[in-house]
Amino acid sequence: MINEDKKINANSKNEQLEYFRSADSEDKELTTNQGVKLSEDEESLTAGERGPTLMEDFHFREKMTHFDHERIPERVVHARGFSAHGEFELYESMKPYTKAKFLQNPNVKTPVFTRFSTVVGSRGSKDTPRDVRGFATKFYTEEGNFDLVANNFPIFFIQDGMKFPDVVHAIKPEPHNEMPQASGAHDTFWDWVSQNQESAHMVMWLMSDRAIPRSFRMMEGFGVHAFRFVNDEGKAHFVKFHWKPVLGTHSLVWDEAEKLGGKDPDFNRRDLWESINMGNYAEYELGVQILEEKEEFNFDFDILDSTKLWPEEDVPVRIIGKMTLNRNVDNVFAENEQVAFHVGNVVPGIDFTNDPLLQTRLFSYTDTQLLRLGGPNFHEIPINRPVCPFHNNQRDGFHRQTINKGQVSYRNNALAGNSPHTVDEKNGGFAHYQEKIEGRKIQSRSKSFEDHFSQAKLFWNSMSNAEKQHIIDGFSFEVGKVQYKPVQQKIVDMFGKVDHGLAAAIAQKLDVSVPPANIQSKVTKASPALSQENTPKLAETRKTAVIISDGFNGAEVKKVIENLQAAKVQVAILSDRLGSITADDNSTLKAKHTFLTDSSVAFDAVYIAGGMKADKMFEKKAKMFMQEAFDHFKPIAVSNEGEQWFKEKQLPSKTGVVINKQQPDDFSKQFIDAIAAHRFWDRSIL
Ligand code: HDD
């Protein structure tokens, strides 16, 4: 169970978990937890047929007691999450910068476990609210667990964790009526924002497309803080960690995200689950931004301030490896719920900085797990166990699993030769980086943390026109729901310090005053890496609905589907009923989706072929489907009846609409290109 001598490989965690997996219950005898075989499981023991239930029914008591205790507290933030297993492969040795063993040798694969989450909603809420997403990864390395507890934004709301309970109280459902569920609160959150201007940059991200990711597979991840790499000579560098999704960073549109909340609250987890099952593994490259210690003060922001990013154009992201998530969990509770991440789980070669947000996080994570997982032994839960040996004198506590042998559980001891013994740094013992610190004990913020608006403006400057419009819409929606007018005005005034045009556009929607232009940030710089327009764009794994009715053009549809599948586009046949749909050439296709079971929001693109036998109701539904996809800027391909309906709808055939005037091969190629382009924002100004 404890891997004392074997080398770690990509499968090491899986092998360890195998030890804990229950045997399949199929064809097995039903027993109590004590192993007693049972003859009855549906009737409790009573005194007589209509008499009272008897306490001596040990099976009833055990079954009910276990059930009564099935729940554990959900996480105070990031309660709703979904996870997968995978492996991390290094591309190039990081030896010059860090002695971390898993970052030395490109041939070594490290097992990983990643949990994605929303932050605000409770465990049973929806996947698609406007929210930050958690992206926490446990690397099971040969030197112990390294947790990269990241988010999909590179920055945070606050600079000092002392304020964490405040921002979380403000954004969670309001305490008097627990509304709104599964999205950020309105009055309390925006009141808090207006009183805490350090949140400006993060709020810009929160109002942007980044807050409604299309898929966990299409999301960046950021370790946020500056950490330290320390090499085997003891030399340190500052480092920031990045995950870059191979499929690029893509988002939903807001109306779609809201509809998905009702139509498929599990949209993001289903996408990950199904993709992994289909072999479309989620892949992310690991990037690092590295700074010399002497570069610490070279920037017009403080590199230890978590409300600031290091622009990628100034500090390039060096891609050093790839994570592939390739195995779904067996049991959501055992793995996704019981996994315990901690930003303080580091290995030799990775160390902390004085970022005040990071420092406070170092306290919070163990503390919260103690409550949630019921005691100090949560490191023994299968998903949390390191795959390397672990020995110390910690003992007992609730739910202890390890049977520690021997008489001695203290150091220093002579009875056991002072075992377990410490290991010096040269032989892999963790030794904290010796940073020289001098100062008074104070409770105040460094002046270098004072500028809250320059990077908010940098973000704004970096957005495309469509992205800017989405930010304006995001503010107008969220702040529009605030009941208290003075808060709306304060927010507009606050974001007037970012950009005048932004503030004026929101003010107009909210019916509040436009702040003066001269308060806006003077920053003119942009960082192209921040715009999703500049992300990789691929058709691979995108989901396309193919709408057919009886009498559809069999030859054409067959060819188009073949081409789509060759380009690794997922194809879903949709009609007005499930089962076989017959083409004009008597070939058949099986519809696995209907207008009733699905809607256009579940797909990235739609191809409408129609069919000669489509009745009025079919036509109406197909047109609705097409209209919604069109309004969500999605690629549309039409042929046969589809083309006729498209024209009747009087939808302008602008970009992203492919009409079958060509051979099926050319038609498919154009459609695949359109799918790769993802969305056609110029429709919004039609
Ligand atoms: Fe945190 C969970 C990420 C600031 C305190 N955090 C949690 C999770 C992620 C993050 C991904 C979910 C882990 C999981 O899936 O189990 N948190 C971040 C990032 C932050 C951040 C990227 C800023 C850079 N967090 C932060 C601060 C504090 C916390 C400042 C407190 C001082 N976070 C927690 C927590 C949670 C948590 C209360 C709740 C559940 C858990 O830890 O295990 O301890």
Question: Known binder of ligand: residue 327?
Answer: no
Check pLDDT > 70 for residue 448.
Answer: yes
pLDDT bucket at 640, cuts 50 / 70 / 90? confident
The pLDDT of residue 312 is 98
pLDDT, average across residues 568-572: 98
The angle at the Cα of 653, spanning 652 to 659, to the nearest 5 degrees, equals 150
pLDDT, average across residues 25-44: 96
CB 261 within 8 A of CB 128: yes
> pLDDT tens digits, residue range 521-542?
999 999 999 999 999 999 999 9
DSSP-based three-state secondary structure for 413 = coil
Tell me the CATH number for domain 537-685: 3.40.50.880
Q: Can you give the residue ranges of every domain in the chain?
A: 81-158+214-384, 460-533, 537-685
Distance CA 362, CA 66 (A): 34
The pLDDT of residue 680 is 95
For a substitution probing ligand 1, which of 119, 240, 360, 361 has the most ligand atoms within 8 Å of its CB? 361
590 CB-contact burial (10 Å; exposed 0-12 / middle 13-18 / buried 19+)? exposed
pLDDT, average across residues 315-329: 98
Distance CA 559, CA 564 (A): 9
Q: Is 671 touching ligand 1 by the criterion CB < 6 Å? A: no
The angle at the Cα of 205, spanning 80 to 313, to the nearest 5 degrees, equals 120
Q: Is 359 touching ligand 1 by the criterion CB < 6 Å? A: no
- Measure CA 286 to chain center: 15
pLDDT bucket at 611, cuts 50 / 70 / 90? confident
**Ligand 1, closest atom to CA 116?**
15
Distance CA 497, CA 517 (A): 9
* Owner of token pair 């004026």: 504
Q: C-alpha distances in angstroms, 400 versus 1, 203, 336, 370, 596?
A: 15, 43, 21, 13, 51
pLDDT, average across residues 380-392: 97
How remote is the CA of residue 77 from the centroid of ligand 1, in Å?
A: 7
The pLDDT of residue 3 is 56
How remote is the CA of residue 365 from the centroid of ligand 1, in Å?
A: 7
**Ligand 1, closest atom to CA 369?**
43
| Token reading at 141 | 């390395």
ipTM: 0.98
Q: Is 644 touching ligand 1 by the criterion CB < 6 Å? A: no
CB 139 within 8 A of CB 110: yes
According to DSSP, residue 24 is labeled: P
The total number of residues written for the chain in this structure? 686
How remote is the CA of residue 372 from the centroid of ligand 1, in Å?
A: 14
Distance CA 227, CA 352 (A): 5
Distance CA 294, CA 276 (A): 44
pLDDT bucket at 610, cuts 50 / 70 / 90? confident
pLDDT bucket at 231, cuts 50 / 70 / 90? very high
Strands (E), 465-624: 543-548, 570-575, 579-582, 588-591, 593-594, 605-610
* Percentage, residues of the chain above pLDDT 70: 98
Q: Is 153 touching ligand 1 by the criterion CB < 6 Å? A: no
Question: Known binder of ligand: residue 385?
Answer: no
pLDDT bucket at 2, cuts 50 / 70 / 90? low
Closest residue CA from atom 31 of ligand 1: 361
The pLDDT of residue 489 is 98
> pLDDT tens digits, residue range 96-125?
999 999 999 998 999 999 999 999 999 999
Q: Is 373 touching ligand 1 by the criterion CB < 6 Å? A: no
How remote is the CA of residue 563 from the centroid of ligand 1, in Å?
A: 44
Nearest alpha-carbon partner for 62 in 30, 21, 27, 24: 30
Q: Is 115 touching ligand 1 by the criterion CB < 6 Å? A: yes
Predicted TM-score of the model (pTM): 0.97
How remote is the CA of residue 267 from the centroid of ligand 1, in Å?
A: 23
For a substitution probing ligand 1, which of 153, 306, 309, 364 has the most ligand atoms within 8 Å of its CB? 364
- Give the DSSP H or E segment for 116: strand 109-118
**Ligand 1, closest atom to CA 117?**
15
**Ligand 1, closest atom to CA 224?**
24
How remote is the CA of residue 26 from the centroid of ligand 1, in Å?
A: 40
- SS3 of 59-75: HHHHHHHHHHCCCCCCC
The pLDDT of residue 267 is 98
For 60-69, 423-432, 656-665, which range has the lowest pLDDT when averaged over its residues? 656-665
Check pLDDT > 80 for residue 684.
Answer: no
Handedness of CA 434, 439, 445, 450 (dihedral sign): negative
Catalytic: 151?
yes
Q: Kindly indicate whether the domain formed by 81-158+214-384 is annotated with CATH number 2.40.180.10.
A: yes
Question: Known binder of ligand: residue 115?
Answer: yes
Using only C-alpha atoms, the chain has a radius of gyration, in whole angstroms, of 28
The pLDDT of residue 686 is 46
Q: Is 361 touching ligand 1 by the criterion CB < 6 Å? A: yes
Distance CA 329, CA 334 (A): 9
**Ligand 1, closest atom to CA 115?**
15
According to DSSP, residue 214 is labeled: S
Q: Is 364 touching ligand 1 by the criterion CB < 6 Å? A: yes
Q: Is 156 touching ligand 1 by the criterion CB < 6 Å? A: yes
Q: Annotated catalytic residue: which of 3, 59, 85, 151? A: 151
pLDDT, average across residues 232-239: 97
Question: Known binder of ligand: residue 361?
Answer: yes
Closest residue CA from atom 40 of ligand 1: 75
CATH architecture of the domain 460-533 equals: Up-down Bundle (1.20)
> Which residues, including other chains, have CB under 8 Å from residue 414's CB and lie 6 or more apart?
none
Q: Is 161 touching ligand 1 by the criterion CB < 6 Å? A: yes
| Token reading at 314 | 């100034």
> pLDDT tens digits, residue range 145-191?
999 999 999 999 999 999 999 999 999 999 999 999 988 999 999 99
How remote is the CA of residue 136 from the centroid of ligand 1, in Å?
A: 9
| Token reading at 25 | 């219950």
Catalytic: 553?
no
Work out the mean pLDDT of the chain and round it to a whole number. 96
The pLDDT of residue 685 is 54
526-564 burial by CB neighbour count: b if 16+ within 10 A, else e? Answer: bbebbbbeebebbbebbbbbbbbbbbbbbebbbbbbebb
Nearest alpha-carbon partner for 326 in 286, 272, 266: 272
Q: Is 117 touching ligand 1 by the criterion CB < 6 Å? A: yes
The pLDDT of residue 76 is 98
Q: Is 119 touching ligand 1 by the criterion CB < 6 Å? A: no
Question: Known binder of ligand: residue 71?
Answer: no
483 CB-contact burial (10 Å; exposed 0-12 / middle 13-18 / buried 19+)? exposed
What are residue 11's phi and psi, to 5 degrees?
-95, 0
* Percentage, residues of the chain above pLDDT 90: 93
**Beta strands 605-610; 236-245: pairing state:** unpaired
Q: Annotated catalytic residue: which of 59, 78, 186, 225? A: 78
Question: Known binder of ligand: residue 80?
Answer: no
pLDDT, average across residues 622-631: 95
> pLDDT tens digits, residue range 451-473?
999 999 999 999 999 999 999 99
